[in-house]
Chain A
Amino acid sequence: MLPYGVNATFLAKLEEIVGHAYILNDPNELLTYESDGLARLHAKPGCVLLPGSAADVQQIVRQCHQHRIPFVARGHGTGLSGGALPHPDGVLIVLSRLNRILEIDIANQRVTVEPGVINLDVTKCVAPQGYYYAPDPSSQLICSIGGNVAENSGGAHCLKYGFTVHHVVGVEAVLPDGEMVHLGGPALDAPGLDVLAALVGSEGTLAVVTKVTLRILRAPERVRTILAAFESTDAAGAAVSEFIAAGIIPAAVEMMDRLTIEAAEAAVHPNFPKAEAVLIVELDGTQSEVDGLFEIVEAICRRTGGTEIHIAKNNDERARIWRGRKAAFAAMGRVSPNYYVQDGVIPRTKLSEVLGRIRALEKRSGLRIGNVFHAGDGNLHPLICYDEQIPGQGDLAEKVGAEILQYCIEAGGSITGEHGVGVDKSAYMAKMFSESDLDTMQKLRCAFDPASLCNPGKVFPTPRLCGEVPGPYRQHPAERAGLAERM
Chain B
Amino acid sequence: MREGTSADAVEGIIPKFVAEPASAEEVTATLEQAARDRLSVVTRGSGTKLGWGPPLQSIDILLSTARLNKVVAHRHGDLTATIESGATLANVNRELAAHRQWIPLDPYSGDRATIGGIVATNDSGPRRHRYGAPRDLIIGVEFARADGVIARGGGIVVKNVAGYDLPRLMTGSFGCLGVILTATFKLYPLTASSQTLVVDLRDTRQLAALAGSILASHLTPTALEFQTPPLRLLLRFESIDASVQQQSATARQMIDSAGLSARTVTGDDEAELWTRYGAPRAAGAAVKVSAMPTELASTLTLLDRLAAGNYSANGRAGLGVFVLHLDGDAAALEKIVVGLRESLPAGRGSAVVMKGPVDFRKQVDVWGPIGDGLPLMKAVKQRFDPDSLLNRGRGPGGL
On A, residues with C-beta under 8 Å from B are 107-109, 151-152, 154, 158, 162-163, 165-166, 170, 175, 179-195, 197-198, 200-202, 218, 220-221, 241, 244-245, 247-249, 285-289, 291-293, 345-349, 374, 377-379, 412-421, 425, 429, 432-434, 436-441, 443-448, 459, 469-472, 474
User: B171–A447 contact, CB under 8 A?
Assistant: no
> Which one, B41-49, B228-236, B377-385, is touching chain A?
B377-385
B110 near A: Cβ within 8 Å?
no
Q: How far is the CA of A438 from the CA of B219 in the complex (A)?
A: 44
Partner of B156, one of A291, A412, A416: A412
| Residue B283 lies at the interface, judged by CB distance under 8 Å to chain A | no
Q: Are the C-beta atoms of B159 and A198 separated by less than 8 Å?
A: no
In the complex, chain B residues whose CB is within 8 Å of the CB of A471 = 378-379, 382
A109 touches B382 (CB 8 A): no
Q: Indicate whether A181 sits within 8 Å of B152 (C-beta atoms), given known contacts A188-B319, A193-B380.
A: no
Contact A182 B372 (CB under 8 A): yes
Question: Is residue B79 within 8 Å, beta carbon to beta carbon, of the partner chain?
Answer: yes
Are A191 and B396 also in contact (CB < 8 A) when A249-B189, A436-B149 are? yes
Q: Decide yes or no: A347 and B75 within 8 Å by CB, A107-B294, A286-B219 being known contacts.
A: yes
Contact in complex: A459, B159 (CB < 8 Å): no
- Once the chains bind, are A191 and B352 in contact (CB under 8 Å)? yes
Given A188-B319, A194-B173, A469-B382, also A420-B161 (CB < 8 A): yes
* Smallest CB separation, B273 vs chain A (Å): 23
In the assembled complex, how far is the CB of residue B368 from the closest CB belonging to chain A, in whole angstroms? 6
Q: 8 Å CB contacts to A: which residues of B317-361? A: 319-321, 344, 346-350, 352
Residue among B77, B159, B379 making CB contact with A154, cutoff 8 Å: B159
List 15 contacting pairs A-B, 8 Å CB cutoff, sorted by A: A109-B215, A151-B161, A187-B291, A187-B292, A187-B344, A191-B370, A192-B371, A221-B218, A247-B191, A377-B157, A414-B157, A416-B160, A437-B152, A444-B383, A470-B386
The listed residue with most B CB atoms (<10 A of its CB), out of A182, A286, A471, A472, is: A286
A289 with B368: in contact, given A197-B168, A436-B150 (CB under 8 Å)? no
From B156, B350, B377, A347 is in contact (CB under 8 Å) with: B156
Chain A residue nearest to B100 (CB atoms) is A247
Q: Which residues of B contact A288 (CB under 8 A)?
A: 240, 242-243, 245-247
Bound Cα distance from A400 to B340, whole angstroms: 60
Contact across chains for A459 and B77 when beta carbons are under 8 A apart? no
Say yes or no: A349 contacts B77, CB within 8 Å. Answer: yes
- The residue of chain A having its C-beta at the shortest distance from the C-beta of B208 within the complex is A107
A198–B168 touching, CB < 8 Å: yes
Contact A444 B380 (CB under 8 A): yes
Q: Is the CB of A197 within 8 A of B165?
A: yes
Nearest residue (CB) in A for B344 is A187
- Sort A-B residue pairs by CB-CB distance and give the 5 closest, nearest first: A185-B347, A247-B189, A197-B168, A289-B243, A221-B218
Query: A202 contacts B294, CB within 8 Å?
Result: no
- Of chain B, the residue at the smallest CB distance from A289 is B243
Chain B: minimal CB distance from A220 (Å)? 7
Evaluate contact between A166 and B242: CB separation under 8 angstroms: no
Contact, CB under 8 Å: A248 / B189: yes
For B173, give its contact among A193, A285, A420 (CB under 8 Å).
Answer: A193
Q: For residue A414, which residues in chain B have a CB less than 8 angstroms away from its CB?
A: 155, 157, 159-162
Contact: A198 with B164, CB < 8 Å?
A: yes
Q: Does B397 contact A (CB under 8 A)?
A: yes
Chain B 277-316 interface mask (CB, 8 Å, partner A; 1/0): 0000000000010111110000000000000000000000
User: Are B347 and A472 in contact, CB atoms less than 8 angstroms apart?
Assistant: no
- What is the distance, in angstroms, from B303's C-beta to the closest C-beta of chain A? 17
Q: Is the CB of B165 within 8 A of A247?
A: no
Task: Name B346's contact: one of A162, A182, A197 (CB within 8 Å).
Answer: A182
Contact yes or no, A445 B164, CB < 8 A: yes
- Does A418 lie within 8 Å of B159, measured CB to CB? yes
B246 CB contact (under 8 Å) in A151, A175, A287, A348: A287
Q: Is the beta-carbon distance between B399 and A193 smaller than 8 angstroms? A: yes
**B136-150 vs A: 1/0 string, CB under 8 Å?**
100000000100011
Contact A286–B218 (Cβ < 8 Å) = yes
CA distance A285 to B244 in the complex (A): 12
Contact between A108 and B157, CB atoms less than 8 A apart: no
**Contact assessment for B189 and A415 in the assembled complex, using a CB-CB cutoff below 8 Å:** no
Q: Is the CB of B240 within 8 A of A289?
A: yes
Q: Is B216 within 8 A of A218, CB to CB?
A: yes
Instruction: State the total of A-B contacts with C-beta under 8 angstroms.
Output: 288
Q: For the complex, is B58 an interface residue (Cβ under 8 Å from A)?
A: no
Known: A109-B215, A181-B372, A192-B397. A441 touches B321 (CB 8 A): no
Most chain A beta carbons < 10 A, residue from B190, B368, B396: B396
Q: Check B377 against A195 for contact (C-beta < 8 Å).
A: yes
Across the interface, B288 reaches (CB within 8 A) one of A189, A197, A220, A291, namely A189
B367 sits at the interface (CB 8 A): yes
**Interface contact A182-B373, CB-CB below 8 Å:** yes
Chain A CB within 10 Å, residue with most, of B158, B171, B372, B399: B158
Residues from chain A with Cβ under 8 Å of B192 in the complex: 247
B77 close to A348 (CB less than 8 A): yes
Known contacts A188-B290, A192-B374, A247-B192, then 18 further A-B pairs from the complex at CB < 8 Å, ordered by chain A residue: A107-B293, A162-B136, A182-B372, A187-B348, A192-B370, A193-B173, A194-B169, A197-B165, A198-B166, A247-B191, A289-B239, A292-B240, A347-B77, A413-B155, A414-B157, A421-B163, A437-B152, A471-B378
Nearest CB of chain A from residue B267's CB, rounded to whole Å = 21
Q: Are the CB atoms of B371 and A440 closer together than 8 Å? A: no
Closest-by-CB residue of A relative to B158 is A377
CA of A244 to CA of B372 in the docked complex: distance in angstroms? 44
Give 1 or 0 for each of B66-83: 1 = CB within 8 Å of chain A CB: 000000000101111000
CB-CB < 8 A to A248: which residues of B?
Answer: 189
Q: With A166-B132, A197-B168, A289-B242 in contact, is A158–B159 under 8 Å at CB?
A: yes
Q: How far is the CA of A304 from the CA of B136 in the complex (A)?
A: 33
Assess the B157–A202 pair: CB atoms within 8 A: no
Q: Please, how many angstroms separate the alpha-carbon atoms of A419 and B161 in the complex?
A: 8
Which one of A107, A191, A347, A348 contacts B212 once the chains associate, using CB atoms below 8 Å? Answer: A107
Q: Which residues of B contact A472 (CB under 8 A)?
A: 375, 378, 382
Contact A185 B373 (CB under 8 A): no
A163 near B159 with CB under 8 A, answer yes
Which residues of chain B are near A421, meaning CB under 8 Å?
161-163
Closest to B173 in A: A193
Q: A474 vs B215: C-alpha distance in the bound complex, in angstroms? A: 45
CA distance A348 to B217 in the complex (A): 34
Alpha-carbon distance between A183 and B155 when the two chains are bound, in angstroms: 25
Bound-complex Cα distance A194 to B176 (A): 12
The reply to whether B162 and A416 contact each other, CB–CB distance below 8 Å, is yes
A446 close to B383 (CB less than 8 A): yes
Q: Which residue of B lies closest to A415 (CB)?
A: B162
B75 to chain A, nearest CB (A): 6
Kindly state whether residue B55 has any CB partner on chain A within 8 Å.
Answer: no
Closest A-chain residue to B316, C-beta based?
A188
- The reply to whether B346 and A202 contact each other, CB–CB distance below 8 Å, is no
| Contact B169 A444, beta carbon cutoff 8 Å | yes
Contacts of B367 in A (CB 8 A): 191-192
CB distance from B207 to the nearest CB of A (A): 14
B264 at the interface (CB under 8 A from A): no
What's the nearest-Cβ distance from chain B to residue A102, in Å? 14
- How far is it, in angstroms, between the C-alpha of A416 and the C-alpha of B149 when the chains are bound? 26
Q: Is the CB of B157 within 8 A of A181?
A: no
Contacts of A109 in B (CB 8 A): 215, 293
In the complex, the chain B residue whose C-beta lies closest to that of A440 is B151
Set B135, B149, B189: member contacting A194, Cβ < 8 A? B135
Partner of A378, one of B157, B346, B352, B378: B157
Q: A245-B77, A286-B243, A378-B78 given as contacts; is B346 within 8 A of A185 (CB)? A: yes
Which of A192, A448, A471 has the most B CB atoms < 10 Å from its CB? A192
For residue B86, CB closer than 8 A to chain A, the reply is no
